[in-house]
Amino acid sequence: MAPSSQQSSSTAAWTPATWRSKPIKQSPAYPDESKLQKAVKELNRMPPLVHPTEIAALKANLRDVAQGNAFLLQGGDCAELFDYCEQDAIESKIKLLLQMSVVLIWGTNKRVVRIGRMAGQYAKPRSSPTEVVNGKEMPSFRGDILNGYHEDEREIDPNRLLKAYHHSAATLNFMRSALASGIADLHRPFDWGLGHVRDPGLKEKYSTIASSIQQTLRFLQVINARPEELQTVDIYTSHEGLLLEYEQALTRLLDSPEARSPAASRFASRAPSPPPGEADDTLPVRNLAIHGQDYYDTSAHFLWIGDRTRQLDHAHVEFFRGIANPIGVKVGPTTPVDDLLALLRALNPQCEPGKITLITRYGAGKVADLLPKHIRAVEDSEYRRCVVWQCDPMHGNTLSTEAGIKTRRFNDIYKELQESLRIHKEQGSYLGGMHLELTGDAVTECLGGSEGLAEDDLSTNYTSFCDPRLNEKQALELAFLVADHFSQEGKTGRK
Ligand code: PEP
Ligand code: CO
């Protein structure tokens, strides 16, 4: 259903619990309230998964993206499973994101900000409460954080909220240690694996890019240069902030690094004053200026509001308007133009650049009609150059084969990206990122790409329990194509 255009007040009192008085979509009916309360209480006691300093650093990076000085690569599984919390799966995703980002740095000549859809992407919105699997109707799989895929695990289990926390913690711990231990050492040669590329023209294009990158890295090694980008490789974490019980339990009032930074004084001077006698826990949004503290959702660095839960007067927008994290909003064919500005005003009343990422996902056939209107609404307002525009070319391009297999065509995905790049250029705005569903494994879930995956190939290694993901070759190919686009543009003189 299209979100309503009734406006949520950005000045009303906010606490991490005010969302509970609003209507809500996609909220699970927990079968056992006392079990839920017990799980939430325990979550509330757990240490934060991420720190405000990291969240603030990501926000500063996203400000650079919004202003056209960096590019955002965000990717990972559609539905992360607890089973993916193991060394190989995590390592292969990190390596893929890193390799793609090197290609994008080469093409864009800009820093690349990396965010994984990982270490918490366990909750899935569903269009229907039930689904048919192998001819049998059962409650829909809503992600490992609520129920299991197997038939006998379909009942919602609140203990899974705790399991989600622990799997996020283990995944994040390994990500941090792997990155700190040099998994991202760019001086090791990459395996570009271009053997599968059948088209000789494409093969030459990709090989040229790969060898140019390799040469540059060798040169840096020889002169013992360690540019900042190669020294500290960060991958931030993100997930859809769907389950507000979980997000609330991990939201904490913490000292704000932004309060200490010069940029914060700008917001401080514009922050509303508390009404006299107002209790500390019902302060107006963003009490940064008042106490040097802010509410951080410590479940991930970046959270986004999905396409099904961005109604202005509903619970998700209410919750997200009060936290200091950078947040994403999915924008699609059902987003009324007027809602877009109202959403920005509700979620980012102080116009912090980089605070909001608009993740556009229309479908290759619709983007040309819809994106320009959304761009104009934002760029002709006070939010000009304030948001990050990011293209999600996955979620508007899902289709079913005749055999009923959910898939996406590589060409549709690339087309939506290309169209978005073209339209942003025409409109004078900056497409600052891409948001992909991908995996580091050799799955066969999306059609096409240089391997030429056909419908008959889909059954070879189709392992997604939710949406089809790009495999590592398809994902890297997309990075090559986008990098090539930017590099050609650079040659024709555009900044
Ligand atoms: C997703 O990103 O996995 C998703 C469900 O997307 P959307 O909300 O855009 O449909
Ligand atoms: Co998805």
Q: Is the CB of 472 under 6 A from ligand 1?
A: no
Task: Give the CB-side neighbour count of residue 411, counting CA atoms within 13 A.
Answer: 6
What's the whole-number mean pLDDT along residues 17-28? Answer: 97
Ligand 1 atom with the smallest distance to the CA of 392 is 9
Contact predicate 150/465, CB 8 Å? no
Nearest-CA residue for atom 7 of ligand 1: 307
Q: Give 307 Cα–ligand 1 centroid separation in angstroms.
A: 6
Q: Is the CB of 307 under 6 A from ligand 1?
A: yes
Q: Is the CB of 395 under 6 A from ligand 1?
A: yes
So what's the pLDDT on residue 281? 43
pLDDT tens for residues 214-252? 888 888 878 877 666 666 679 999 999 999 999 999 999
pLDDT tens for residues 334-372? 999 999 999 999 999 999 999 999 999 999 999 999 999
Question: Is residue 294 marked as binding?
Answer: no
Question: Is residue 395 marked as binding?
Answer: yes
Question: Is residue 176 marked as binding?
Answer: no
Q: Give 463 Cα–ligand 2 centroid separation in angstroms.
A: 14
pLDDT tens for residues 91-118? 999 999 999 999 999 999 999 999 999 9
Whether the per-residue pLDDT at 458 is higher than 70: the answer is yes
Nearest-CA residue for atom 9 of ligand 1: 307
Q: Give 103 Cα–ligand 2 centroid separation in angstroms.
A: 24
With both helix axes pointing from N to C terminus, report the angle between 472-491 and 200-222 in degrees, rounded to the nearest 10. 80
Question: Is residue 78 marked as binding?
Answer: yes
Which region, left, alpha or beta, applies to residue 370 given φ > 0 means left and ψ of -120 to 50 means alpha?
alpha
Mean pLDDT of the chain: 90
Query: Which ligand is nearest the CA of 469, by number?
Result: 2
Which of the four pLDDT bands, split at 50, 70 and 90, describes residue 181? confident
- CB-neighbour burial class of residue 369 (10 A; exposed 0-12, middle 13-18, buried 19+): exposed
| Sequence-ordered list of residues with C-beta below 8 angstroms from that of 53, at least 6 positions apart, any chain | 257
Cα–Cα distances in angstroms (integers) from residue 472 to residues 281, 364, 396, 478, in the given order: 46, 22, 21, 10
Q: How many other CB atoms sit within 10 Å of the CB of residue 126?
A: 15
Contact predicate 257/42, CB 8 Å? no
Question: Is residue 266 marked as binding?
Answer: no
Extended strands (E) in 172-324: 236-240, 251-255, 293-297, 302-305
So what's the pLDDT on residue 276? 38
pLDDT tens for residues 286-335? 555 457 999 999 999 999 999 999 999 999 999 999 999 999 999 999 99
8/293 Cα distance (integer angstroms): 24
Ligand 1 atom with the smallest distance to the CA of 307 is 8
pLDDT tens for residues 409-421? 999 999 999 999 9
Nearest-CA residue for atom 4 of ligand 1: 306
Q: Is the CB of 80 under 6 A from ligand 1?
A: no
494/324 Cα distance (integer angstroms): 34
Q: What fold characterizes domain 34-124+158-182+235-257+290-493?
A: TIM Barrel (3.20.20)
**Global model pTM greater than 0.75:** yes
The full set of domain ranges for the chain reads 34-124+158-182+235-257+290-493, 185-231
